[in-house]
Amino acid sequence: MLRAIHYVARSACVQMSLGGGTRTLSQSVWKCQASQVPSTLWKLGRLNHVAIATPNLEASTALYRDVMGAQVSQPEDLPEHGVTTVFVTLDNTKLELLYPLGNNSPIQNFLDKNKSGGLHHVCIEVDNIQAAMEEVKAHKVRCLSKEPRIGAHGKPVVFLHPKDCAGVLVELEEA
The footprint of a copy of itself (CB under 8 A) covers 13, 24-27, 29-30, 32, 34-35, 38-39, 42-47, 50, 52-54, 56, 58-63, 65-70, 90-93, 95, 97, 114-122, 124-125, 135-136, 139, 141, 162-168
Nearer to a copy of itself among residue 65 and residue 78 (C-beta)? 65
Nearer to a copy of itself among residue 5 and residue 68 (C-beta)? 68
Chain-centroid distance, C-alpha 40: 21
| Shortest Å distance, C-beta 21 to a copy of itself | 15
Nearer to a copy of itself among residue 69 and residue 79 (C-beta)? 69
Q: Residue 121 burial (CB < 10 Å; 0-12/13-18/19+)? A: buried
Among candidate residues 123, 69, 114, the one with its CA nearest the CA of residue 96: 123
Nearer to a copy of itself among residue 54 and residue 84 (C-beta)? 54
